[in-house]
Structure 1
Amino acid sequence: MYRGSLTDPVRLALAGNEYGSFQLVVAPFWKDLQDVSVSFSQLKGPRGTVVSADSYRWSRVDYVRLKGIDPRDFSARAYEPDPLMPADPFAVPTGEVRAVWVDFLLPPGTPEGIYRGTVSVASGGQTVTRKVEVRAYGFDIPKKSSLETDFWFSLYQWNWFYKPLNYTPELHARHAEVIGRYRVSSIPNDWITLCPQVPIYVEPEGKFTFDWTTLDKYIQNGLKNGSTAFWSALSCNSGWTAWMNNPNVQVTERATGKKVPLKKLIEGKSQYENPAYRDFLTAYVQHLKDLGINDISYYELFDEPNDNSRWLQMIEHHTFFKQFAPDLQLLCYGIDPLQLKAGKSAIGLIDAWAPHLTYIDGAVDKAIKERREKYGEKYWSYTCGEHRDKDGNYSPYCRYDRPYISTRMHFWFAWHYQMDGFLIFAMSGLPDENKKDNPAERWPNSDWSDGGYRGCGTLVYPGPDYQLIPGMRLANAREGLEDYEYFAVLKKSAELLDPAQDAALLAEVNKALEVDKDILSSMHVWTKDRSRLEQKRAELAGLIREVMSITVPQKRLTGIPASSRRREPPLCAPASP
């Protein structure tokens, strides 16, 4: 039950380049509402500064049906809100309610101050208006995430939804623009879709060459929209390695233009001797270097190699990679430097360690950081399901039936452990119940079913006209990534302070850069209180402004005394996400 005010302004506190979100609930009292629409005024700030109404974006909240809910469990809900549908007029029958999700992006460079405007909901000639107040902190966070991310955006399952999906760089550009609004990487991780779009040639002298033109369009779409990592194998267990060793793949003879199966050109060769595979690896690494992204491109061939057989296969193939293509960046989820299987260690064969978040303890954390310091190996982590302790406490994940703060908290853990990258599995899964032959029966004309997975694998949805539909959990992931930026901006800004002259302030900064115990105590014990995170963000924002008042020319900060700046209470929307 909503217990907030019905008259107070919706309040947000933001840095430039940051989104703030809030919800509105539309409830008819006497008759059905038709053609409900939402509109916004511009926001007016200090000294005549104006923020355009174009900074707003709204969506209608839709619901997901949870499969297998026990009807005797009154704490469980059969439907959970998540999909954020396009901003089209909608109806609300009497006796029901509809929720509207609003995103507001504070433009970079917005001067510090309070900006005031309104949001209005209209239907049938009547309008209800609510005030909006946005506190601009007067500094920006980076437009692109400081933390590398890749949530495995793939399309092959969506073929079973659309039947078929003929994916192109032009369609991907639309999808990448949406995903980019959530600060998450959007380059597809989908070998079934992308590998066939890279023509392979065999030259007269027998060398294999590759036309990267179309693949580059996907990569550039992602980079343009803030992607910070690329799963270069285009898969977690097969990808390019499977494609370049597939005897049925068609290769064009450069001299004749004739297409021939790869089998004729590699027959009798092992995968390690396969000249097409070898030429691919050499050309691919060089191309990634030419694009300037090799250091954020990760080739994964053995995801979670938990049994001895797969572990030994991984050791063998990674040894080949290191000998033949030493600059190929290798990552396998589920591996840390302390693991030993069948008497073999992965040390020297991994460029980015990525243990599951729930498997990180003090020893694993220390071992990865030591290798990063000594060898430059990166520190990634991931979640693919939640874990519970003996008391029933659960680790962060993106389940529909958990508080949305659970998704947001991933990135507080990422800062706590000082990670380089993070995966939430996964972006675009399709539970079987949503595969329908008749287009008229497809979602959103019918319920979206979670398939019993409770959100595992699905953060976006395939919408009408090939739209990509984001969700509330993805929006909360963005909020966590923005939280991460407050820490990162403070840390970077404080590097310019004088260690002697600013010793007291540096001590305060260093303390604030730690995640407080009441926010994050252990993998299973962390705050569910959104206001506590907002309080910490306000503390970080105050310190950023104080540090910048010393280190940055006073173009935007107002000169309010640091003591009063830092002790301002955080502002939260009355109906918070």
Structure 2
Amino acid sequence: EVPVRPGGTYLLAVWGRCRDLRDGDLRLHLHIHRADGTLSADSPMRGTGTGIQDTTDWTLLSGTFTMPADAARISLHLTTEGQGTLWHDGALAVEVVPAVPATWEARPLPQDAPLAVRPVNPLIKVFPDEPVGPSAPPVLDLAGNEYEPLQLAVRSGRACRLRITAEPPRGPGGAVLPPPEIHVVGYVPVDYPTNYYRDDNPEWYRKIPHTSPGCDGFPGMWPDPLLPRAELDLPAQETHAVWVTFFAPSGAAPGEYRGTVRLLEAGSGSSEAAAEVPYTLRVRGFSLPPTTRFKAIYDVRLGPGSADWPGGLDAWYRPLASLMARYRLCPDVVRPMPRFRLEDGRVTADFTAFDEAARWYFDEMQFPHSYTPWDLYLFGWGHPPKTAWGEPPYPGDYPYEGADRARLRPEFQRMYQQALRLFWDHVKAKGWADRFVLYISDEPFFREEHIIKQMQALCEMIHEVDPAIPVYCSTWHHVPDWDRSLDVWGIGHYGVVPVDEMAAIRASGKRIWFTTDGQMCLDTPYCAVERLLPYYCFRYGAEAYEFWGVAWTTYDPYRYGWHAYISQSDKPGNRYWVRYPNGDGFLIYPGKPIGLDEPIPTVRLAQAREGVEDYEYLVMLREAIARGKAAGQDVAEGEAALRAAEELVSIPNAGGRYSTKILPDPDAVPRARRAVAEALE
């Protein structure tokens, strides 16, 4: 135990390593005690974040923690729920003065210096205090039916308004590609680096984060929204980013295309450009498939900040889904959903609006997936199932204390199964059944015996309707007690399930998705996880990844790049406040705060599209290798390129909030993709 003072900030750290640590990871935790030995009333048990597992060499587990008002002593704990061999060394607890980076100082440009412009890998975020040096003209690669962004960092010694133009790329035999899209990157403030921040104080307490961050970000202005405008108001001595996005139609003539991006100073009276950036596009001799095979699933929901989405989800669902289709992402569910009603003691369904929506969703938008209607979702975390058309799941009153969770009320089962059977029979008749997955539960408390039994009983009820109905659950972990219950496992991509265990799940005939809540925050220096998730899926056999929100805001996101504390309950009788990671749940901004009647994409959304397109490259190369082998051809180059692309990712890893750890070299991604393209050609 270590004495501490209230309000003091302490660095806690230990070196750890492990060998064959399975079914859990090694983490550093602290318990905060009052003077009388009891636990603090303010988040008394805290941890340093992601731990280590499997076989991992010496790794520093550390974090800083500010002590609550009733703190007197802390105790440090190395904890694991797994089995294996562990080592630790050099434990440290010391009071520190907390500090974070404020601003970086770049050499100022003279006021009369030429406008400085430099191409930057779009995986890398451009910050206002970055210097801009000279560089070679950009060369971009893309296939037919593919988008490819060019990011330019722009800096001036004086304030100016710039107008950006980009001529259509011209290539072999006079071929011309479509005019590129131009976006100016917007910057949003972040007050405190990302993590999940819990607060158990009453509603009227002021709530601010006071525990350690869980990302590689810092406070300041962060690039995120892609504003659909071709004018940039550039402050003096600041660097801002411009995106120019090219598209090559399917079947575009292969070869080199050229053009120029020009930046003209508005109001200068001169027709000469303040800067010109000549570019080259190499269009490859193949095209991506006409429909996206990969499933990158983002829930379309609006949060407490929905006033910025006038008309609510009914008004914005199709504009949001249409934008997602352009970015090769998939919504969670067909809307409007069927209208279920209880009539004369039976569940009925009206599919009129749903059928029209499903035809638009599957045929016009070409989305590859939908969950079954959210009416059929059953429970989350440690809660009992919701009622089914007025029928409670267990005898007695909510929360059904003492009820046998393995025995559902027959009346509950009958109502739920009536609704499910109506829906399932309908989509089978329409030929859509293979597109649907039933999402049963989010993050269930799988270590609690009553939740284990509850899940088993609910899955049995579903499979009584049709054993072919695929049941999905975002468990994060593998739960052997549910091997006979779940069909699609939603597990973490950073190593909570060992690689060999994932392979065993797939070998048993089950499917794997990666569940990714909390991973895509806006305050990471690189758009790493957004780009790499399809690589993780390809390498480790996951057929999809899913993320809980694409437009869920709590504040005006242009003014506040963080979330409000929201009230949340994870089990009956337990309610608390939580602030989600910065940018978590929204990769699309509302247009209203900036005077536009359209949803606004982000650099993160654009890199998610790039990742989905990269996945098509990998699948096409794998298929080409198989054909080549069957024909007796030498496929060594293709195998080497595919192996290098797969080795961009590994499990276990630090998780999506640590972009600089999971992607130490952002330039490795375009290099690997270029090698895959050359092997395909």
Q: Does the CA contact (< 8 Å) of 1:121 and 1:129 recur in 2?
A: yes
Check conservation: 2:340, 2:419, Cα contact below 8 A. no
TM-score, reference length from structure 2: 0.64
2:467 is equivalent to residue 326 of structure 1: yes
Match of 1:423 in 2: 546
Structure 1 residue 37: deviation in Å?
3.1
Q: Does residue 1:405 correspond to 2:544, yes or no?
A: no
- SS in structure 1 of the partner of residue 218 of structure 2: coil
**Alpha-carbon displacement from aligned partner over 1:258-283 (angstroms, at most 9, x marks no partner):** xxxxxxxxxx9731122xx3332112
Distance, in Å, in 1 between the alignment partners of 2:217 and 2:420 is 53
Structure 1 residue 66 corresponds to structure 2 residue 206: no
Matched residues in 1 for 2:675 and 2:451: separation?
47
Question: Whole-Å Cα distance in 2 between the matches of residues 367 and 321 of structure 1?
Answer: 24
- The total of aligned residue pairs comes to 479
Cα distance change of structure 1 residues 278 and 429 upon mapping to structure 2, 3 Å threshold:
same
Give the secondary-structure state (helix, strand or coil) at the position aligned to 1:540. Answer: helix
Query: CA-to-partner distance for each residue in 1:403-451, whole Å, 9 max, x for gaps?
Result: 21232121211111022111234322223xx1xxxxxxx554x444345
Q: Aligned partners of 1:448 and 1:222: how far apart in 2? A: 31
Q: Distance in 2 between matches of 1:529 and 1:346?
A: 39
Of the three residues 247, 258, 266, the one matched with 1:116 is 258
Q: Is the 8 A contact 1:398 1:406 kept in 2?
A: no
Q: Partner residue of 2:276? A: 129
SS at structure 1 position matched to 2:185: strand
2:141 paired with 1:13: yes
* Aligned mates of 2:426, 2:304 — CA distance in 1: 28
CA distance in 1, matches of 2:248, 2:498: 38
Is 1:371–2:516 an aligned residue pair? no
Partner of 1:474 in structure 2? 605
1:23 alignment partner AA: Q
Matches of 1:156 and 1:291 in 2, distance apart?
33
1:318-376 CA-partner distances (Å, limit 9, x unpaired): 1001112333221001166x524xxxx2223222122121313133222122123xxxx
Aligned partner of 1:494 among 625, 647, 671: 625
Partner of 1:303: 442
Q: 1:316 to 1:269 in 2, by over 3 A?
A: closer
Cα distance in 2 for residues equivalent to 1:398 and 1:443: 13
- Give the stretch that moved more between structures: 147-156 or 105-114: 147-156
CA distance in 2: counterparts of 1:474 and 1:419, whole angstroms: 21
SS in 1 for 2:526: coil
1:159 Cα deviation from its structure 2 partner: 3.4
Q: How far has the Cα of 1:134 moved from its partner? A: 0.4
Cα displacement string for residues 226-253 of structure 1 (whole angstroms, at most 9, x for unaligned residues): 42221224386559x85852479xxxxx
Q: Which amino acid aligns with 1:112?
A: P
Q: How far, CA to CA, are the matches of 2:601 and 2:667 in structure 1? A: 24
SS in 2 for 1:271: helix
Matched residue, 2:40: none
Question: What SS class does the counterpart of residue 43 from structure 1 fall into?
Answer: coil
Matched, 1:173 2:318: yes
Question: Relative contact order, CA 8 A, sep 6+: which one is greater?
Answer: 1
User: Is the alpha carbon distance of 1:517 and 1:326 closer, same or farther for their aligned partners in structure 2, counting shifts above 3 Å?
Assistant: closer
In structure 2, distance between residues paired with 1:214 and 1:117: 47
**Contiguous gaps of at least 5 residues in structure 2:** 1-129, 194-208, 393-408, 565-578, 654-660
In structure 1, distance between residues paired with 2:440 and 2:300: 17
Quick check: 1:398–1:407 contact (8 Å CA) kept in 2? no
Q: CA deviation at 1:221?
A: 4.0
CA RMSD of aligned residues (A): 3.3
In 1, Cα distance between equivalents of 2:336 and 2:218 = 40
How high is the sequence identity, in percent, across the aligned residues?
23
Measure, in 1, the Cα distance between the counterparts of 2:419 and 2:505.
31
The residue type paired with residue 177 of structure 2 is: V
Identify the residue that residue 245 of structure 1 maps to in structure 2: 389
Q: Give yes or no for contact 1:23–1:100 (8 Å, CA) kept in 2.
A: yes
Task: State the partner residue of 2:178.
Answer: 52
Equivalent AA in structure 1 for residue 459 of structure 2: H
Q: Give the secondary-structure state (helix, strand or coil) at the position aligned to 2:440.
A: coil
Secondary structure, aligned partner of 1:357: coil
Please give the residue correspondences for 1:197-212 in structure 2 after superposition, counting only pairs within 5 Å.
198=339, 200=341, 202=343, 208-212=347-351
1:41 maps to 167
107-116 or 42-51, larger mean C-alpha shift: 42-51
Judging by fraction of residues, say which structure has more strand: 2
Richer in helix (by share) = 1
Q: How does the TM-score come out when normalised to structure 1?
A: 0.74
What is the Cα deviation at residue 160 of structure 1?
4.8
SS of match in other structure, 1:409: helix
- Is 2:157 the counterpart of 1:23? no
The answer to whether the 8 A contact 2:413-2:461 is kept is yes
Following the alignment from structure 2 to structure 1, what is the Cα–Cα distance between the partners of residues 157 and 250? 41
